[in-house]
Chains A and B, each alone.
Chain A
Amino acid sequence: MRTVIIGAGQAGRRCAEALRELDAAAGILLLGEEAHPPYDRPPLSKAVLLGTDPGNGLFVRAAEFYAERRIDLRLGTRVAAIHPAARAVETAAGERIGWDHLVLATGARARRLRIPGAEDPRVLTLRTLEDAEGLKARLAARPRLAVVGGGLIGLEVAASARQLGCAVSVLEAADRLMARCVPPAIGARYAALHRGHGVDLHLSCALRAIEPTPDGGLLLIGDGARIAADLVVAGIGGVPETALAEAAGIAVQDGILTDAQGRTSIPGIFAAGEVARFPHPFWGGRAMRLEAWQVAQTQPAAVARAILGMDAPPDEVPWHWTDQFGWNLQVLGDPDPSLTLVQRAEGEHRLTAIALDAAGRARGAVLINNGRDATPCRRLIAGGKVLDAAALADAGTPLRSFL
């Protein structure tokens, strides 16, 4: 039985690895469009830009890993079409490759600005290692950088560029930072962090246009602000790479629609990682498409199990993180702004905040420089125990005692 995986990013790699772990005999072909063996993307906006050692955080596996595991890794290979009836894919070079199971791990591309002036070559996005290396080279000249988008990628790029000595502006259309993932109180702390490091932060500032200036720079025209820059990076989210799936007649709706184990609308074809929109148990089975390291790490293993006729692994509490200006932020579960946020401050720059629902059950948590609390928080969220908010607010009482 041969499985062909389209996309050699983190999700594709994890699916291949899991298949091999579970089935010594599986035929595994991993097709990557990029020239590099699989890499994880979190270091791109931090260690790669800063030129610091990413450890094994970038290329997680050694080059020989794939051959050792008999994973047939073909790089620089673009798939042009999927032929579901024939159970084959066709590469851009015209090769037809047959499969018994097909996994689409095509990921997402960076969303591009759609405003006048956005086509200027100095308006960049960050998605690939080439993007990161190109941006790093440009930052070496210390340009005035304008970052569009106050989400995770935008703020990580802003922090890295500031650390490299660039003048940095951030424009965010919402009235707070990281609005999609942390409560306002946490976003406010990060606004203060960035401003404290000299970032020129513009909230409630939707970008309307980018214009070249007579001095060879750029002018960003935002709501209530005009910002001069030499370089622009847009960090405004990702667009799932669904074109192949759509052309093959697979059901797509802002992501490839799948069940909990990645089965698409066509039998034998699966989707893994951030391209997949799947019913998430943490949100009561609501269909979610999550752009997070954790999803690319664990969901493809569930897909591998489905291919082999095995059940899904146990659910995990959703988790993601961001590192900015030396601060580590971790978000567990869903700390929705509508919930009651219990803050456990441990010193000025160390905090665990737990979001309780109306019944007093932990639904989410946010940790600033306090990763020690991640596992206890994960257990509190998974356990569903009713907690006493006043007792929980006492940072002197270890979280373990609430488990």
Chain B
Amino acid sequence: MADWHRVAAEAELKPETPLGIRIGDVQVAVVRLADGIFAINDVCTHEFALLSEGFCEDGKLECPLHQACFDIRTGRALSEPAEVDVATYPTKVENGAVFVQV
């Protein structure tokens, strides 16, 4: 069952500054972009690394190890060495708090 989990106060999320969190067994990167707050799986599909520790720009998150790039809105793998997309998760803001559905 996918449940909603509170991950941060909305004010804590700075633009293009990823927040890496663990929800159960799932690592999630939460990022505020100009058009909303998005959540993707935080683990690079190439080799294990947390995307939230990577460079963020133009709606993309870059793996800190090998520079594979992922679209934060869609989870799509945009550049090699990654070939496989990362999962995306719904987000919502309620009463000043950010929730992710995992």
User: Which residues of B are found within 8 Å of A323, using beta-carbon distances?
Assistant: 65
* 0/1 interface trace, chain A 321-346, chain B, CB 8 Å (1 if under): 10100001000000000000000000
In the complex, what distance in Å separates the CA atom of A371 from the CA atom of B54?
6
CB distance from B27 to the nearest CB of A (A): 14
Say whether A372 contacts B54, CB under 8 Å: yes
Give how many B residues have a beta carbon under 8 Å from the other chain's beta carbons. Answer: 21
CB distance from B22 to the nearest CB of A (A): 18
Look across to chain A and name the residue whose beta carbon is closest to the beta carbon of B52.
Answer: A372
Say whether A55 contacts B64, CB under 8 Å: no
CB distance from B12 to the nearest CB of A (A): 19
Question: SS class of chain A's interface: helix, strand, loop or mixed?
Answer: mixed
Say whether B66 contacts A321, CB under 8 Å: yes
Say whether A57 contacts B57, CB under 8 Å: no
Say whether A376 contacts B45, CB under 8 Å: no
User: Which residues of A are found within 8 Å of B46, using beta-carbon distances?
Assistant: 55-57
In the complex, what distance in Å separates the CA atom of A60 from the CA atom of B82?
8
User: Which residues of A are found within 8 Å of B64, using beta-carbon distances?
Assistant: 328, 370-372, 374
Residues 51-96 (chain A) with a chain B CB within 8 angstroms: 52-57, 60-61
Say whether A43 contacts B55, CB under 8 Å: no
Residue B81 is within 8 A (CB to CB) of chain A in the complex: yes
User: Which residues of B are found within 8 Å of A374, using beta-carbon distances?
Assistant: 55, 62, 64, 67
Say whether A61 contacts B83, CB under 8 Å: yes
Residue B71 is within 8 A (CB to CB) of chain A in the complex: no
Say whether B47 contacts A375, CB under 8 Å: no
Question: SS class of chain B's interface: helix, strand, loop or mixed?
Answer: loop
* 0/1 interface trace, chain B 67-86, chain A, CB 8 Å (1 if under): 10000000000001111100
Say whether B45 contacts A55, CB under 8 Å: yes
Residues 372-394 (chain A) with a chain B CB within 8 angstroms: 372-376
Residue A47 is within 8 A (CB to CB) of chain B in the complex: yes
Residue B53 is within 8 A (CB to CB) of chain A in the complex: yes
Say whether A371 contacts B48, CB under 8 Å: no
Residue B63 is within 8 A (CB to CB) of chain A in the complex: yes
In the complex, what distance in Å separates the CA atom of A132 from the CA atom of B46?
19
In the complex, what distance in Å separates the CA atom of A54 from the CA atom of B49?
12
CB distance from A379 to the nearest CB of B (A): 11
Say whether B83 contacts A328, CB under 8 Å: no
Say whether B63 contacts A40, CB under 8 Å: no
**Given A56-B84, A376-B55, A371-B63 contact (CB < 8 Å):** yes
Q: Which one, A53, A60, A297, A328, contacts B65 given CB within 8 A?
A: A328
**Given A323-B65, A372-B64, A60-B55 contact (CB < 8 Å):** no
In the complex, what distance in Å separates the CA atom of A328 from the CA atom of B63?
12
In the complex, what distance in Å separates the CA atom of A43 from the CA atom of B84?
17
Say whether A375 contacts B83, CB under 8 Å: no
Say whether A375 contacts B67, CB under 8 Å: yes
User: Which residues of A are found within 8 Å of B81, using beta-carbon distances?
Assistant: 40, 56-57, 60, 297
Say whether B47 contacts A60, CB under 8 Å: no
User: Which residues of B are found within 8 Å of A56, using beta-carbon distances?
Assistant: 45-46, 81-84
Q: Which A residues are within 8 Å of any B CB, using their own CB? A: 40, 43, 47, 52-57, 60-61, 297, 319, 321, 323, 328, 370-376
Q: Which B residues are within 8 Å of any A CB, using their own CB? A: 44-49, 53-55, 57, 62-67, 80-84
Can you list 22 A-B contacts (CB < 8 A)?
A55-B47, A55-B48, A56-B82, A57-B81, A60-B81, A60-B83, A61-B83, A297-B81, A321-B65, A328-B64, A328-B65, A370-B64, A371-B62, A371-B63, A371-B64, A371-B65, A372-B53, A372-B54, A372-B64, A373-B55, A374-B64, A374-B67
Known: A47-B47, A328-B65, A374-B62. 12 other contacts (CB 8 A): A40-B81, A52-B48, A55-B44, A55-B46, A55-B47, A57-B46, A371-B54, A371-B64, A372-B54, A374-B64, A375-B62, A375-B67
